[in-house]
Structure 1
């Protein structure tokens, strides 16, 4: 395993972050097996991954509980535990959002489920139009000051919103977002025209979600074939929306490079964001030991400039991306 600093912080994180949304029973495509989930986390730790990302909303807290169980015997000082807040946790007033009340209530619930005294990286899962950013940042700053949280981060918003948050922190002397979690992969490159320029200019770490585009970039789908029974695309519109001619052209190049190199399309697809200077640690979401080890092996794949260009040529990054505005 190799490690890097998260943005301009001194925090050491593995070059791959283990995404923990699969660990739970909220959807049919999740692992739906607590013991197997714990075993997979243990295997990731044994491979040197020290960075785990979950959220309170994943299976309504079940993912956090599984992570807490899995890391109970690990060296906490080496681990970087990340979770998120924003989405609905219960019906009724104050059940979601980024108000001071919701944040302070939910961080305590996350700490309990993770069975830890502090969260290394606490992230806002989305932007909240109904709460002033000053209120949100003041609450997050309080969590850092009181030791419940070490660093704060954000996910998935416009460049204007993120820039406003950073500058508000600077003006009000609040804790600054240390990282951004955007959707980013070889077929979803819209953030190159939105958030990534801000992150590069402001020395903010980048931990992309869905680096394999919901499984599309693993190469297990074909243009003319029906989706195989049990694949995520059977039930997940997110993956089916990747089935466009431009995206198939990108996948064609990835498959060709994989054949030339004697590796898998998933490994080429993960190597692509790892070769982008702005990216610190893509968030992988393996559902098996085989997939985990395949993902980790991508760290040893050194793509050439020519191969990077081949992968990128079919797409022109645009914001907002079609279907995402």
Structure 2
């Protein structure tokens, strides 16, 4: 797919133009056995993504402890201006006090380390990776506002929390005239629909942009796992208890519908699953995390798959989404 075929939208509530698919960079590094440990291979994926018209690269300081940011930074030299480069802060980056969280001290320390690894003097979007129950949200918002005022950050975002926490953050930003969160990055896929009962209604009401992480449920929606087989040793499903939580009867039932529609449409299961998200008005862009160029090409082709209302109903029928303070990793 050429760059001219990529669809673009604006991050809701802003003027920022983003591609309908974002490139997630968690898999670039050596932290886990299934990741793209080879920097050259990671650069091939990044190059192909940019050539395909993807302009959003989403990383975080904790991804392989800074390794992902370094790999992305090396890949984008000379074409920084055309890209929307994002990162995140919250997770532990060093031992001892103030080594994690959203205190002013940690945020201001980490943004400089992130910028250095990425080889840039600003981030287009800087996101709090999780809610910090030990730091007043006003302190975090004040620090982020300072970064915007300094020119180190263009937009501020959040990720993965309870709706009441995000609502409180928006309220305090409005009340005290701090920078307001422009985006929410949330887990959303055909088998992980809990945010329909949590953050999505808030984002729709408050006109906050949305980026969906894990849109293929860690590979579950690609059809790589079989309900009757144990996952292969060393695979993500074998190593990751969070992944194993997806192996439920209702999720296998969703997968059966995905498989049926993929056959009818001569598409892959991943394309049908991504197409469902691309049809959602509440989502600006899914974040895909390919580990090969072929997986990336497959995801980009999802832009050409259309679903009818009836097909969307069939895909959604096996599940009744609920939030119930869902626990995500760390």
The TM-score with structure 2 as length reference comes to: 0.96
Residues 257 and 177 of structure 1: CA distance in aligned 2, closer, same or farther (over 3 Å): same
Q: Does 1:12 align with 2:29?
A: no
Question: In 2, distance between residues paired with 1:316 and 1:291?
Answer: 29
Question: In 1, distance between residues paired with 2:76 and 2:283?
Answer: 26
* SS across alignment from 1:106: helix
Q: Does 1:190 align with 2:194?
A: yes
Choose which of 22, 31, 50 in structure 2 pairs with 1:26. 31
Choose which of 139, 147, 150 in structure 1 pairs with 2:151. 147
Residues 172 and 323 of structure 1: CA distance in aligned 2, closer, same or farther (over 3 Å): closer
Deviation at 1:240, TM superposition (A): 1.5
Aligned ranges for residues 1-325 of structure 1 at < 5 Å? 1-74=6-79, 76-320=80-324
Question: In 2, distance between residues paired with 1:77 and 1:31?
Answer: 26
* SS across alignment from 1:282: strand
Deviations 1:284-309 (A, max 9, x none): 00000110000000011111101100
Q: What RMSD over aligned residues (CA atoms) do the two structures have, in Å? A: 1.2
Question: In 2, distance between residues paired with 1:171 and 1:50?
Answer: 33
In structure 2, stretches of 5+ residues that fail to align are: 1-5
Q: 2:3 corresponds to which residue?
A: none
Deviations 1:166-205 (A, max 9, x none): 0100000011101101111001101000000000000001
Deviations 1:130-180 (A, max 9, x none): 000000000000000110000000000000000000010000001110110
Residues 229 and 263 of structure 1: CA distance in aligned 2, closer, same or farther (over 3 Å): farther
Determine if contact 1:214/1:238 at 8 Å carries over to the other structure: no
Determine if contact 1:181/1:208 at 8 Å carries over to the other structure: yes
Question: In 2, distance between residues paired with 1:165 and 1:69?
Answer: 34
Question: In 2, distance between residues paired with 1:107 and 1:266?
Answer: 34
* SS across alignment from 2:182: strand
Which segment drifts farther, 183-192 or 229-238? 229-238
Determine if contact 1:190/1:321 at 8 Å carries over to the other structure: no
* SS across alignment from 2:212: coil
Question: In 2, distance between residues paired with 1:227 and 1:96?
Answer: 33
In structure 1, stretches of 5+ residues that fail to align are: none
Determine if contact 2:270/2:299 at 8 Å carries over to the other structure: yes
The TM-score with structure 1 as length reference comes to: 0.98
Question: In 2, distance between residues paired with 1:321 and 1:148?
Answer: 34
TM superposition outliers: structure 1 runs of 4+ over 4 Å = 321-325
Determine if contact 2:33/2:234 at 8 Å carries over to the other structure: no
Deviations 1:93-118 (A, max 9, x none): 11000000000000000000000010
Matched residues, number: 324
